[in-house]
Amino acid sequence: MKVHLFPITVLLVIFSFVFVQTAGSAVGLPADFPDLVATQKGEPSPGVFIGWLGFWTIDYYVVLDQSGYPLFYSKTEQMSYPGVMFNGLITAPSDKGFTLKDETFTVVDSFKLAGNYSVDIHDFKVMPNGHALILGTYPINMDMSLVVTGGRPDAQLTGNVIQEIDTNKKVIFEWHAIDYIPITDSFYDLTSKSIDYAHFNSINIDPFDNNLLISFRTTGEITKVSRSTGEIIWRFGGKKNEFTFIGEHEENAPYYFVGQHSIWRKTNGNLLFFDNGNLQGAGTTPSDRTYSRAVEYQIDETNKTATLVWEFRHTPAIFTPSGGRVQPLSNGNVLIDWGAAIPNGAPAVPLVTEVSPAGEVVYELHYATAKKGSRLQKYIWNSPDLVKSQTFQNIISGNTYNSSNAGISVTVNSLEGVTNNGLAVKRHADAVRFPKFTGQVPQVLIDRVTISSFGIEDMSFDINFNIDGMDFKDPNQMTVYHRPQEDSGIFSPLLTYYDSGQKKLVVLNAQPGEFIFTYPDIQGIPIAPALKTPADMSTVGYTKPVTFEWAPKGLFSSFHLQVAKDSEFNEIVADKSNMTVYKYTMETIEPNTTYLWRVNTTNSGGTSDWANASFSAVAPKINVTVPNGGEQWQAGLTYFIQWNYNMDDNVIIELYSGGWFAKTIATVSGSQAYEWEADLSLRPGNNFYIKVKSASDNTIYDTSDASFSIIK
C-alpha cells in the first residue's frame, strides 16, 4: 500500500488574495500525482478536501489543503465514499456495507445491509444518534410486457431498498421503492432487458420532522417518506410532481430539474441539491440541458409550492452527465463538485467550485492539464478548529466559571479534591461517536460538550448551555443527555429546562463527562406489514419448502408470524414471535391443503393488527405458454419462450422435433421467460415443440400443447 500522510497541523490554509499553485510538481510526490491549480478570489470556508482524484478510475485517494497540496495520498486506502460522517469518521465501501475509519485511517466501526441485498454506494449516512441509513439493490424478475407495450417478459428491474440500522446493528426500518413508486413513473427505457427504474443516489433525514428525503435519479424526483408508516408524504419533480414551481426557467418546463444528486434540507427549511440536467443512459429522458447547476428551493409543504431562491450556473456552462454534488459549508457558502464533467482538450472544467450566497465564485480547483474528474468534499476535519475550549484552575465550590468561547457556564455545587485542581470545558463542532441509549433513541444534534476535571475526586455542577445556533429546533423539546466517558458508554437523559430569557438550556447537578443535545424522534406507529409470498390465494408446490416473506411498514422492533390450517388459527403449524427478520421457511407442507398465514408488527407504539393471506399446497406444476402451437418462428430471429411455475426452482428448456430430442436450449433461474434465437442450423419444419422441466425433478415438466414451425 502506497500511503503518505503529512502533518495535519497545517490543514487550514486561508488566503485573502488570488493565488495559483501546483501540487504535483512538489518535492516528494509521485511522478504520476496530478498537478492541481487552486484559484482563490474571495473568502472560502475553512477546511480540507477529502475524496479522490479521477472519476471512473480512481488515481489517488487524498486529503488536500486549500492550495491543492496533498496532506495525505494513497492509491489503495479507500476513503470518503460517499463522504465523511457528521462525527468525523471517514467511510469506505466494504462487503455489503461500509467501514468507518478514524483520523489515523484505522477501521473503528462498520455497518452492513441485512438480507440478500447488494450495497448501493451512492450514499450512506451515520446520523448523529448513531443510526445508519444504508442503500441497497437487488434484482426483480418481471414480465414487462404486462406493464408497457414492447416490454420484455424476461426483464430484470433493479430494486432499491433503504434500511435504517441502529447502534446494535439491528434493522429498525426498511423501505422498498417498488412498493410505492410505480414503474411507469420512470424516465428509463422500460423496453430494456435491464431496467434501473428508480436509482437512489442520495438520502437524508429531514431535521424538521425526522422523515426521509430521497433522491431518485431515473424518476427525476425528490420524495419525502414517513419513517412512521413508510407512506409517501410528497413527491417533488418528475412525472408525478405535486409542487407548483415559482421563479423557475419556463423554457425547462415541465421538468425543471432532471437527474439530480445530493439533497440537503438546510436549517432555514430550504432544499439544496445538484441538478444535473440530464439522465444519461436512461433511454427515454426529458430533453438534456446544456448545463448543470446548484439549486435551492424554498419549500412550502402545506401549499405545495417550490420557489427558486438561489441557483448557480457556471460561466462558461458546465454539463455533468453523471455524479456531481453540492455541500452547504459552515460560513454559508456552497461547494459544488462537478463529478464526471470532463474537459475536451483543455483544463476548463473545475473539479470543485466554492460559491458565496451572492453567487460569487470564491474558490476553484482544477487539474493543470485536461483530465478526468474527481470527487471531493470539504470538511473541518482532524483540526483544532473543531473545538472551542477553556480551562479553569483552582476550582472552588459555589463559584461560576463562564466560558464565552464555548458558550457554557458551569456553577460548581460541590467538589472533593486537592487545591491545585482544574476544570476543562470543550465544545465540539462534530457529532458524538459510538452513542448508546436505553429505551427509545432520540435524534441528536451535531454539537457536543465534554467537561473534565483534574485534581478532583468527585464534583457536582449546574450547566447553562448557549443554544443560539440551534434555533431551528424548539428548545422546550430539547433534552441534554450525559455519559461519564467520551466516545464510550450509555447516554442517560438529564433533567433539562429552557431559560427563555437567556436563551440557554439548563441542567442541574451534573457530573463530568460527555453531553449531547437531543430532541424527540418520531413515535412508532404499529402497522401490519405487507405480505409478499406466498401471495394471497396462490398455489404452492408441496414437494419443496415454502418461504414466507413480508415487507415492514414504518419503524419496527419485531414481528409475529403464525401459520395455520384453519381460518380461526386453532390448528397452528408455525408460531414464531419476536422475529427481527421478515422471512421464514417452513420445510414441509401437506399436499392438497389450504394454509392461512398472518403477521403483525410490534414497535414503540404497540402491536399492530394482523395482516392475513392464504395459499394452497398443490402438486408442483409447469405450464408452457409460448410457443403453444401454430406459431411460425423464423430461423435466425429471437423469440421468447414462456412458462408458469408454482415452485422456486431452476428449469431446463429443451427443443423436440417430431417427438425426438433436438437440443437443450438453456437452464434458467428465477425468470419465467427466456429469449431464444431460433437456430439457423435446424432443418425447417412444422413439428417442433418446447419442453420445460424442473432441474431438480425431471418428472415435473410440461410441453407445448401443439407443435410450432421453424421457417427460413
Does 37 reside within a domain?
yes
Residue where a domain stops, chosen among 361, 379, 397: 379
CB 74 within 8 A of CB 61: yes
CB 664 within 8 A of CB 670: no
Residues 554 and 703 in one domain: no
Residues 469 and 547 in one domain: no
Sheet strand arrangement including 361-367: 36-40, 361-367, 352-355, 334-337, 325-328
Q: What is the pLDDT of residue 20?
A: 42
The whole-number mean pLDDT for each consecutive block of 10 residues of the chain, a chain of 712 residues, reads 36 35 58 94 95 89 96 92 94 94 96 95 96 97 96 97 97 97 95 95 95 97 97 97 97 93 95 92 70 97 98 94 94 95 71 97 92 90 95 95 96 91 96 95 96 95 91 88 96 96 95 97 95 96 94 96 97 97 95 97 96 96 96 96 92 95 95 94 94 94 97 92
CB 411 within 8 A of CB 425: no
Residues 7 and 146 in one domain: yes
Half-sphere exposure of 252 (CA within 13 A, CB side): 20
Residues 470 and 510 in one domain: yes
Torsion of CA 465, 470, 474, 479, to 10 degrees: -40
Distance CA 115, CA 627 (A): 37
Distance CA 389, CA 407 (A): 10
- Cell for 80? 470518503
Does 525 reside within a domain?
no
Q: What is the pLDDT of residue 470?
A: 77
According to DSSP, residue 173 is labeled E
SS3 (DSSP) at 632: strand
SS3 percent helix, strand, coil of the chain, rounded to 5, is 5, 50, 45
Distance CA 154, CA 144 (A): 7
- Cell for 144? 414487462
Alpha carbon of residue 328 to chain centroid? 19
HEC per residue, 373-418: CEEEEEECCCCHHHEEEEEEECCCCCCEEEECCCCEEEEEEEEEEE
- Cell for 231? 407512506
Q: What is the pLDDT of residue 2?
A: 35
CB 399 within 8 A of CB 25: no
Residues 168 and 221 in one domain: yes
Does 244 reside within a domain?
yes
Q: Which domain holds residue 693?
A: 622-711
Alpha carbon of residue 192 to chain centroid? 25
Residues 133 and 270 in one domain: yes
Say which CATH number the domain at 560 has: 2.60.40.10
Nearest CA to 270 among 301, 291, 292? 301
According to DSSP, residue 39 is labeled E
Residue where a domain stops, chosen among 593, 618, 643: 618
Half-sphere exposure of 475 (CA within 13 A, CB side): 18
Residue where a domain stops, chosen among 329, 347, 379: 379
Q: What is the pLDDT of residue 279?
A: 84
Distance CA 567, CA 559 (A): 20
Contacts of 469 (CB under 8 A, 6+ apart): 447
Residues 653 and 697 in one domain: yes
Alpha-carbon distance values, 403 to 407, 413, 658 (Å): 6, 17, 94
Distance CA 243, CA 229 (A): 22
Residues 317 and 455 in one domain: no
Say which CATH number the domain at 436 has: 2.60.220
HEC per residue, 76-95: CCCCCCCCECCCCCEEEEEC
Residues 308 and 400 in one domain: no
Does 690 reside within a domain?
yes
Does 654 reside within a domain?
yes
Residue tagged 458558550 (cell numbers): 407
Does 159 reside within a domain?
yes
Does 524 reside within a domain?
no
Residues 375 and 389 in one domain: no
The end-to-end CA distance of the chain, in Å, is 60
Residues 584 and 509 in one domain: no
Q: What is the pLDDT of residue 1?
A: 34
Does 560 reside within a domain?
yes
Q: What is the pLDDT of residue 369?
A: 84
Distance CA 259, CA 217 (A): 4
Sheet strand arrangement including 244-246: 244-246, 305-312, 293-300, 271-275, 261-265
Say which CATH number the domain at 91 has: 2.130.10
Residues 255 and 154 in one domain: yes
- Cell for 486? 467520551
Distance CA 487, CA 483 (A): 9
Q: What is the pLDDT of residue 496?
A: 97
Give the pLDDT confidence of 657-669 residue by residue, as tens digits.
Answer: 988 999 999 999 9
Sheet strand arrangement including 212-216: 200-205, 212-216, 221-225, 232-236
Length of the chain in terms of residues written = 712
Give how many domains the chain has, as a whole number.
Answer: 4
SS3 (DSSP) at 469: helix
Q: Which residues pair with 416 in a beta bridge?
A: 458
Q: How many CB atoms lie within 10 A of CB 18?
A: 11
Q: What is the pLDDT of residue 3?
A: 38
Say which CATH number the domain at 635 has: 2.60.40.1930
